[in-house]
């Protein structure tokens, strides 16, 4: 009963509103990223080639040795992003929305890049992201929302606009959500590396 009460408290109306706002930033980022590709393809292509090279080289090296190790690499990377958004959000609550929208922009630019390079169509690209993306996005949005609300409560206390129990006490309020975030990101990595390639062999 106590755990259920903590989850209910964490998913308050304010928390759900922050989640919805972060989802909006993510979708806006995708639209802006795809639009940036349409407007300036040469410059975005240079960015994407550098980004793809930096990601695929270490991933390919790990994947050749062990597919499970590649799954762990993806999970650790996503967990690192979630932790950065959460902890930096506790001090700079505007930081997680920037990261979320930035990830959306990269996805939008990648969709355009893959399409123009004829690697896959835009529809197939998003279809390939869907199975693991639902869980990965959910985990990252939760971590971002926790950081935004934690930081907002801290600043309201620091500016003496509202009573606050303190920096660490505000963080502990959302500690019960951490296992859920870890589970979602782990599940996303497993689906992305072990299941999606079997489901979409001609896409991934």
Residue 18: name the closest of 10, 6, 28 by CA.
Answer: 10
Name which of 17-26, 42-51, 138-147, 190-199 the model is least confident about.
42-51
pLDDT per position as a tens digit, 64-123: 557 788 889 899 999 999 999 999 999 999 999 999 999 999 999 888 888 877 777 888
User: How would you write 1-67 as a 3-class SS string?
Assistant: CHHHHHHHHHCCHHHHHHHHHHHHHHHHHHHHHHHHHHHCHHHHHHHHHHHHHHHHHHHHHHHHHCH
Q: What is the pLDDT of residue 65?
A: 58
Q: What is the pLDDT of residue 193?
A: 87
How deeply is 175 buried, as exposed, middle or buried, from its count of CB atoms within 10 A (0-12, 13-18, 19+)? Answer: exposed
Name which of 37-46, 77-86, 189-198 the model is least confident about.
37-46
Quick check: helix, strand or coil at residue 204? coil
The alpha carbon of residue 124 and the mean position of all alpha carbons in its chain are separated, in whole angstroms, by: 20
Q: How far is it, in rounded angstroms, from Cα 86 to Cα 100?
A: 12
Q: How far is it, in rounded angstroms, from Cα 104 to Cα 202?
A: 24
Q: How far is it, in rounded angstroms, from Cα 85 to Cα 92?
A: 9
The stretch 14-19 carries a mean pLDDT of 92
Name which of 58-62, 78-82, 106-110, 133-137 the model is least confident about.
58-62
Confidence of residue 1 (pLDDT cuts 50, 70, 90): very low
The stretch 178-203 carries a mean pLDDT of 87
Tell me if 87 sits within 8 A of 15, measured CB to CB.
no
User: Which is higher by pLDDT, 7 or 187?
Assistant: 187
Q: What is the pLDDT of residue 4?
A: 54
């Amino acid at each position: 009963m106590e755990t259920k009460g903590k989850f209910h408290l964490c998913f308050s109306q304010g928390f759900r509103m922050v989640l919805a706002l972060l989802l909006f930033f993510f979708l806006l980022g995708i639209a802006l990223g795809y639009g940036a590709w349409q407007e300036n393809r040469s410059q975005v292509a240079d960015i994407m080639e550098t980004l793809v090279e930096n990601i695929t080289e270490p991933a390919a090296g790990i994947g050749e040795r062990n597919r499970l190790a590649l799954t762990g690499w993806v999970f650790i990377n996503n967990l690192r992003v979630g932790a950065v958004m959460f902890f930096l959000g506790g001090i700079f609550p505007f930081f997680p929305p920037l990261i979320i929208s930035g990830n959306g922009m990269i996805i939008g630019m990648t969709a355009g890049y893959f399409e123009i390079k004829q690697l896959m169509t835009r529809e197939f690209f998003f279809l390939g992201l869907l199975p693991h993306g639902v869980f990965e996005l959910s985990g990252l949005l939760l971590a971002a929302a926790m950081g935004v609300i934690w930081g907002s409560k801290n600043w309201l206390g620091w500016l003496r606009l509202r009573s606050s129990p303190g920096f660490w006490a505000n963080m502990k309020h959302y500690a019960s959500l951490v296992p859920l975030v870890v589970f979602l990101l782990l599940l996303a990595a497993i689906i992305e590396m072990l299941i999606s390639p079997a489901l979409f062999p001609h896409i991934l």
